Amino acid sequence: MSEENPAVKKSKSVAVIVAHPDDETLWSGGTILFHPQWKWTVVSLCRAKDTDRAPKFFKALQLYGAQGIMGDLDDGPEQTPLPDEEVENQLLALLPVQHYDLIITHHPNGEYTRHLRHEEVSRAVIRLWQQHKIEMDELWVFAYEDGLKSYFPEPIPEATIYHVLDKDIWQRKYEVMTNTYGFTVDSWEATTTPLAESFWCFSNPEEALQWLHSLPSEL
């Protein structure tokens, strides 16, 4: 476990790659708010044609001072698995081509039990890094678990980074979830909004790929 050092705040080029609008806030919004001098790009692979969620996504990014883009991968309630190539091609089509200091994305087994799009996006990022189709110095993946639906998702204290959010940072993050995205205070999303954020961190693609292959393919 390592507490993120608040003093380490030099400028970075950072992409957050998520499945859905609001994932960037729920799992890493405090980190975005904590580093306003970083150059943030947020990519959501689903819901570009969602007339409710898409405008809220871009409003949230305005609050963060971030750039963003959305795709429209299938996101139906049946969660039909998507071919690896489809997810990878959508990601490459959306992500601005450049070298990133840091990319942040989902855990390969997701943050809760269970959403396939979270898992597919994470695994696509790791594969594309290993294939040198996306370039970064470091990868952070969200580190949360819900005890197989036993409780709301919680940050993992043993993760590489475990950062307890300042009260004002958490409040601003919570207000993005409730005021901007419009989730009610008794919703799953608002109730879940974590007081700390945690990440598993990797500095080279071989390490990340080896870790990926060590994980169970299903929860």
Domains of the chain: 13-214 (3.40.50.10320)
Calpha distance 64→72 (Å, rounded): 22
- The DSSP call for residue 49 is T
Determine how many CB atoms are found less than 10 A away from the CB of residue 185. Answer: 9
Calpha distance 146→57 (Å, rounded): 25
Calpha distance 85→127 (Å, rounded): 11
Calpha distance 213→219 (Å, rounded): 14
Closest CA to 166 of 23, 55, 34: 34
Pairing of strands 39-46, 67-73: parallel
Name the token pair of 212.
Answer: 């990926």
Residue-level pLDDT, tens digit, the chain, 219 residues: 455 554 455 889 999 999 999 999 999 999 999 999 999 999 999 999 999 999 999 999 999 999 999 999 999 998 899 999 999 999 999 999 999 999 999 999 999 998 999 999 999 999 999 999 999 999 999 999 999 999 999 999 999 999 999 999 999 999 999 999 999 999 999 999 999 999 999 999 999 999 999 998 654
